[in-house]
Amino acid sequence: MTAIMNQSADATKRRMRLWRLALRRRIRGDAGMSTSEYAVGTLAACAFAAILYKVVTSGGVVTALTQLITKALDVQF
């Protein structure tokens, strides 16, 4: 009888330990980025900024923006 009670208590302890681990993982989570992820993200942002700068400073875009600003400033009220 004692062996059965010990097995039941051990099984309950095991379930409680697993429940605590699952709860701890859920609360703590893994929401942060590692250093390599920061590096890749920074590199991608820099590459996007460089491409965007090249597009915005190209001749056609500068001309279009200049015309747009000129039209906006010359509006009659």
Residue-wise pLDDT tens digits, 29-65: 666 667 888 899 999 999 999 999 999 999 999 999 9
Ramachandran bin of 44, using left for φ above 0, alpha for ψ from -120 to 50, beta for the remaining angles? alpha
pTM check: above 0.75:
no
pLDDT digits (tens, 9 = 90+) for 2-35: 666 667 778 888 888 888 888 887 777 666 667 8
